[in-house]
Chains A and B, each alone.
Chain A
Amino acid sequence: GESVGLHLPTLSVQEGDNSIINCAYSNSASDYFIWYKQESGKGPQFIIDIRSNMDKRQGQRVTVLLNKTVKHLSLQIAATQPGDSAVYFCAENKGGTASKLTFGTGTRLQVTL
């Protein structure tokens, strides 16, 4: 993919299994978090977001968990499909303006058949 760095952590999962992608964020004042998916040759695609007054949010086949105590965010993908193969980024926003959106380095998800 067109994503970040030569040393992206990679998660390899089998088709049909659940995937869990983790992210440690840096700023305890961050109050809004987003997960993005980036496929090769494309821009980051919004998956799901969560505000700091929540600890869990569910979407279609995806769940985001937020643990503010340890500044940890995770993305769970149920029944992982080949089309889920991509680089996943978490992003955090400190304050009320999205201009402060800070992206993590990304995790590459490889789905094996």
Chain B
Amino acid sequence: DSGVTQTPKHLITATGQRVTLRCSPRSGDLSVYWYQQSLDQGLQFLIQYYNGEERAKGNILERFSAQQFPDLHSELNLSSLELGDSALYFCASSVMAVRANSPLHFGNGTRLTVT
């Protein structure tokens, strides 16, 4: 068990809808990362937060947004959903002192199916 908790495990929704994915990082970890994993794209970095502030953006669509709250949990909001958004969404956390390499610890993901 990595200590990273993601809810829900599964989500089925229709095109055009909006969903919110939730992540609780490991105790003591200040950084949260969101990744998307699809069959044809592998693990793609979406966005990173550190102690409540956005730190880096990857291949995140404008329809997607995220935030990290004072208690360090994070939410990923996906709106105007399209069929191609169906994927596994992973949250990861790390201690992440600035400019220090530390491994990311992943949750078990949320499987999103857009119909």
List A residues at the B interface (Cβ < 8 Å). Answer: 2-6, 31-32, 34, 36, 41-46, 49, 51, 89, 93, 96-106
Contacts and interface: CB of A to CB of B under 8 A. Distances in A.
8 contacts: A3-B37, A4-B39, A41-B108, A43-B108, A99-B58, A103-B43, A105-B42, A106-B42
Nearest to B96: A98
Contact of A6 (B39, B55, B104, B107): B39
Contacts of A101: 33, 45, 104
A32 B92 CA distance: 17
B3 to A, nearest CB: 11
Interface residues of B, number: 33
Interface of B: 2, 4, 31, 33, 37, 39-43, 45, 48, 55-56, 58, 88, 90, 92, 94, 96, 98-109, 111
Given A2-B88, A97-B56, A43 B2 contact: yes
B104 A5 contact: no
A42 B48 CA distance: 21
A40 B83 CA distance: 23
Contacts of A31: 101
Given A44-B90, A46-B2, 9 more contacts: A4-B37, A4-B41, A6-B39, A42-B109, A43-B106, A49-B103, A96-B101, A98-B96, A105-B42
